[in-house]
Amino acid sequence: MSKQINIALIGNPNTGKTSVFNALTGLNQKVGNYPGITVEKKEGICKLPRGVKAHIIDLPGTYSLNASSLDENVVIELLLNKNDKDFPDVAVVVCDVENIKRNLLLFTQIKDLQIPTILVINMADRMDYKGISLDINYLEEHLNTKIALISTRKKQGISELKDLIANYKDLSIEPCLNASEIDKDYFNNLQKTFPNQLLYKLWLVITQDVNFGKTDRNTIDAVADFKTKTKTDLKRLQQKETIKRYQFINNVLKEGQTIDLNTAKDLRIKLDRILTHKVWGYVIFGLILLTIFQAIYDWSSVPMDFIDSSFASLSEWTKNVMPTGTLTNLISEGIIPGIGGIVIFIPQIAFLFLFISVLEESGYMSRVVFLMDRVMRRFGLSGKSVVPLISGTACAIPAIMATRNIESWKERLITILVTPFTTCSARLPVYLIIIALVIPEGRFLGLSFQALTLMLLYLIGFGAAVGSAWILNKILKIKSKTFFVVEMPNYKLPLFKNVAITVLEKTKSFVFGAGKIILAISIVLWFLASYGPGENFNNAETIVTEQYANQNLTDTELEQHVDSYKLEHSYIGITGRAIEPAIRPLGYDWKIGIALISSFAAREVFVGTLATIYNVGSDEEETIKNRMAGEVNPILGGPLFNFASGISLLLFYAFAMQCMSTLAIVKRETNSWKWPAWQLIVMTAFAYVVALIAYQLLK
């Protein structure tokens, strides 16, 4: 059997590269980061004819090899480094059938690196609709490549693409054109100085400030009798190179492509006029958000109730079936309730990712980015900051990574610092359980009060982000002249397979990422809640029995008092009591305090922590929601989770920096502990003050 071959999937943004990747790999893929860099990469395995396996790496979208951002730089450095384990045996360049001219610039550059290259022309099903016809034989001959004309939507051309990949050794590695003609003397001198190096690689090293092997810009400068040009001269040469490539592309497409404008049918302009309208655009976006949040509640209520009762039953069943002892208590009171505290939110999180994926796949999300740019400019943010702020609704960590395409360091820094205000999916479990406890059921104009509250929290988070950005803009005195450019892809019906894979991967990543932390914390919390120092804990049963001797309590009631006394005098109870004076003005008791501290590991741990604490020593088959609803305020009496304390908690989590992973990423992206330290101090203090004011006003 042949060795596994490496495939680099390369292309401009919005060419359907992800669809091609999914069509080739299906569910046989994983997401990670490039070594030493927080830029996300997707990898997958594809089975080719004759039993050959292909390792496919989906590189970040780039318009050319003239990189302007860090994620684009990843593409260049991989294509230059033959010693990299992911260096491609074959490059698959994906084009959009409606934008072939622009997409071919990148293709001609990669051909100059003498890597076997296949040109994939995607969205072939739109050719008739757009009046496009292609002479594939002519294009293959003049581009020195093989072309796969495919439609991922109609599942056409994928097998032909796999055949081309399997036979990659038959591909020509000759460049499409001689780009060195833009300055023959300069490039001849460069080639003579480094006769054993590929000329275009040397050019990329000089212009992009990257390196391959032992060759970098300083090495080239240090060579006797040869000095590279000034930056201005290099920029001018890059422009000449781009012009020459487009001249070649235009000449090829004159014969190889025909567009009949009379048959092209396009509703895009009409839709854009409505969806990006300065008034109706915002109204439509608001209605879409309301619909999403309402659906999250309505569609997920049945599976959530089932999961909640199932975990309560499982915990009780474990106690009854397994022999009495420490291990049984750990499993039934620690692990099962802790994991149940996060699994219950899978339906709502899956629906959230479903809607986000549909909006992205349909092309609407780019319109939202364009629409919101009008708002962002007033607050000193780059239009490109909208992408991290919107993607922050999934998770702040990849959202902060996404700031790498912002050229201005100050604008990027502000975006990094304010992105954690955006409501991420980790906050969702906290919001949902508290809203269910304190917001009454009822509807306004067909929308439930609970869905409206959830949307309001999202808007508050976004408002805090742009408001703090405005303040930072004034403090840091940003004077930026960067321009906002966003591509408007064509509208299209989302591919079910792409949406399904996205929802599955994102939900799995969320659950397993949070699950590891929750499992570890649940075990630690169970231990701290099940054991305690001194006589009070060890003699709890005797003390409580004497205390309630004159009251005719049933065995169950007496047992509940014993469990409560033990919990209060356990290690976790003592710790909670120590911090209770600081959080009591916010309407919280010591149990909520423990949940606040433990949720610094990850926000969603809050619910799992309370599930573990409330379940310790309990024999009743009862859900976490019912236990929280039954908690009594020890000072004021009445429910602990009432409207005042609930709103206080919601606002605290809306503004607090309750995620150590986000702080770690901020440190890595800013290369300093100063900014994450300020982030933690300012956000936590602000959250405390807002929560304090809310509780004191509402109680």
Tell me the HSE value of 463 on the side-chain side, using a 13 A CA sphere: 8
- Which of 258, 336, 343, 352 is closest to 299 using CA atoms? 352
Let me know: does 391 contact 399? Beta carbons within 8 Å: yes
- pTM above threshold 0.85: no
Give the span between the Cα atoms of 626 and 105, in whole angstroms: 61
Kindly report the average pLDDT of the chain as a whole number. 80
The confidence band for 154, taking pLDDT boundaries of 50, 70 and 90, is confident
Query: Given this model, what pLDDT does residue 162 score?
Result: 92
Which CATH homologous superfamily contains domain 5-170? P-loop containing nucleotide triphosphate hydrolases (3.40.50.300)
d(CA 103, CA 336) in angstroms, rounded, equals 52
Q: Read off φ and ψ for residue 484, nearest 5 degrees.
A: -95, 120
Q: Region 189-217: what's the mean pLDDT?
A: 76
Higher pLDDT, 654 or 218: 654
What three-state secondary structure class fits 447? strand
Buried b (16+ CB within 10 A) or exposed e, 225-236: eeebeeeeeeee
Average pLDDT over residues 456-478: 86
Model pLDDT, residue 132 = 86
pLDDT digit string, tens, across residues 328-338: 888 887 788 77
- pLDDT higher than 90, residue 342: no
32-36, 118-122, 143-147, 508-512: lowest mean pLDDT where? 32-36
Q: Which residues pair with 336 in a beta bridge?
A: none
pLDDT confidence of residue 38: 41
Count of positions (residues) in the chain: 699
Which H or E run contains 118?
strand 117-122
Question: Which bin fits 165, alpha (ψ -120 to 50), beta or left (φ > 0)?
Answer: alpha
- Per residue in 530-554, pLDDT tens? 888 878 888 888 888 888 777 777 7
The b/e string for 7-43 (b: 16+ C-beta within 10 A; e otherwise) is bbbbbbebbbbbbbbbbbbeeebeeeebeebbbbbbb
pLDDT, average across residues 295-322: 82
Classify burial at 639, counting beta carbons within 10 Å of its beta carbon; exposed 0-12, middle 13-18, buried 19 or more: middle
Nearest 10 degrees: CA dihedral of 559, 563, 564, 565?
100
> What is the model's pLDDT at position 7?
93
pLDDT over threshold 70, residue 120: yes
pLDDT by residue (tens digit) across 63-115? 888 876 666 778 888 888 888 888 999 999 999 888 899 899 999 999 999 99
Task: Read off the pLDDT of residues 374-389 as tens digits, 9 standing for 90 and up.
Answer: 777 777 776 667 767 7
Higher local confidence (pLDDT), 34 or 681? 681
Q: Where are the domains of the chain?
A: 5-170, 180-259, 280-476, 516-698
Distance, in Å, from the CA atom of 312 to the CA atom of 620, rounded to the nearest integer, reads: 9
| φ, ψ at 524 (rounded to 5°) | -65, -45
Q: What is the pLDDT of residue 148?
A: 92
Instruction: Determine the pLDDT at residue 33.
Output: 45
